[in-house]
Chains A and B, each alone.
Chain A
């Protein structure tokens, strides 16, 4: 895919596959500087890998935005009763 002259991007290109396996680490800033630079150089020259990276990044962003549901009142009550039972003085 880094060979821009190729009319069709064969995604079996070794560099693309290598990048594909490390995309999450790249997104999470868990790679060393040299690896990051290599990936950025590849991305700059490979629109397919850029699209792949952006969609993965967006997937992660969606997960972080998942809204939380409120705790059902029945559960809160049940937990309060349990704690009250635990805190109650034990019969001698």
Chain B
């Protein structure tokens, strides 16, 4: 029996992609303008360095251009773009000498002793967000994100920074939904530990 064709996903990029694939190659610039900011910031969090992020964006757009004709609209273009970006990013990092990913276990985030347990919500979590978030904290947070082991960082950035759903993240990373949830929870707990340390010393 013939395999049922997946339903095409239409989005704000569908017409533009059709035009580019029909030969209006110069319109690829519109796609670049639309997504360069998002991809650059994604690259900054994934690579941690502006030059690497710039190279990652360039390689991603070159790969997108190369494979755009093969894009089947089985997902939103934005999701496919991030899949290409993620794979570009991982390939780049594997070429360089990085230490293997550290595993984060749930146990390391459990309170070690009574002194570690608080029965009151700390000010940084109780006050309105705008009163707590400042430049210094934002910088600390960015550093903490970049320092997460890569496989946890990827999930956290896609879910909590870029705003993809759990299912979309699983689709982009070709992981199971359960795996995305496990990695996300550990990544969030690792960040929370970092923030707790920051506010304790403040």
Q: A75–B185 contact, CB under 8 A?
A: no
A36 located at the interface, meaning its Cβ lies under 8 Å from any Cβ of chain B in the complex: no
CA distance A65 to B196 in the complex (A): 18
Question: Which of B7-15, B34-42, B78-86, B89-97 makes up part of the contact surface?
Answer: B34-42
CA distance A37 to B189 in the complex (A): 23
Q: Taking A21-B185, A63-B141 as contacts, is the C-beta distance between A72 and B192 under 8 angstroms? A: no
Within 8 A of B (CB), among A68-89: 68-72, 74-76, 78-80, 82-83, 86-87
Interface of B, helix, strand, loop or mixed by DSSP:
helix
Q: Which residues of B contact A71 (CB under 8 A)?
A: 36-37, 40
Q: B163–A64 contact, CB under 8 A?
A: yes
Q: B114–A74 contact, CB under 8 A?
A: no
B137 located at the interface, meaning its Cβ lies under 8 Å from any Cβ of chain A in the complex: yes
CA distance A87 to B61 in the complex (A): 14
Total contacts A-B at CB 8 Å: 131
Interface size class of B (residues with CB under 8 A): 35 or more
Q: A57–B110 contact, CB under 8 A?
A: no
Q: Taking A8-B114, A11-B110, A70-B37 as contacts, is the C-beta distance between A62 and B181 under 8 angstroms? A: no
Q: Which residues of A contact B40 (CB under 8 A)?
A: 69, 71-72, 75
Q: A59–B195 contact, CB under 8 A?
A: yes
Q: A58–B125 contact, CB under 8 A?
A: yes
Q: B185–A24 contact, CB under 8 A?
A: yes
B46 located at the interface, meaning its Cβ lies under 8 Å from any Cβ of chain A in the complex: no
CA distance A10 to B114 in the complex (A): 7
**Nearest neighbor of B190 in chain A, beta-carbon distance:** A59
Q: A60–B126 contact, CB under 8 A?
A: no
Q: Which residues of A contact B185 (CB under 8 A)?
A: 21, 23-25
B26 located at the interface, meaning its Cβ lies under 8 Å from any Cβ of chain A in the complex: yes
Q: Taking A55-B196, A56-B192, A61-B129 as contacts, is the C-beta distance between A75 and B36 under 8 angstroms? A: yes
CA distance A78 to B36 in the complex (A): 11
Q: Taking A55-B196, A64-B161, A87-B28 as contacts, is the C-beta distance between A79 and B61 under 8 angstroms? A: yes
Told that A55-B121, A72-B50 touch, could you supply 6 new A-B pairs with CB distance under 8 A? Answer: A51-B122, A55-B125, A55-B196, A62-B195, A63-B161, A86-B65
List 6 A–B pairs whose Cβ atoms lie within 8 Å, in order of A's numbering.
A23-B185, A58-B125, A62-B133, A63-B145, A69-B44, A71-B36
Residue positions of A touching B, CB distance < 8 A: 8-12, 17, 20-21, 23-25, 28, 30, 47-48, 50-51, 54-72, 74-76, 78-80, 82-83, 86-87
Residue positions of B touching A, CB distance < 8 A: 25-26, 28-29, 32, 36-38, 40-41, 44, 50, 54, 57-58, 61-62, 65, 106, 110-111, 114, 116-122, 124-126, 129, 132-133, 137-138, 141-142, 145, 156, 160-161, 163, 166, 181, 184-185, 188-189, 191-192, 195-196
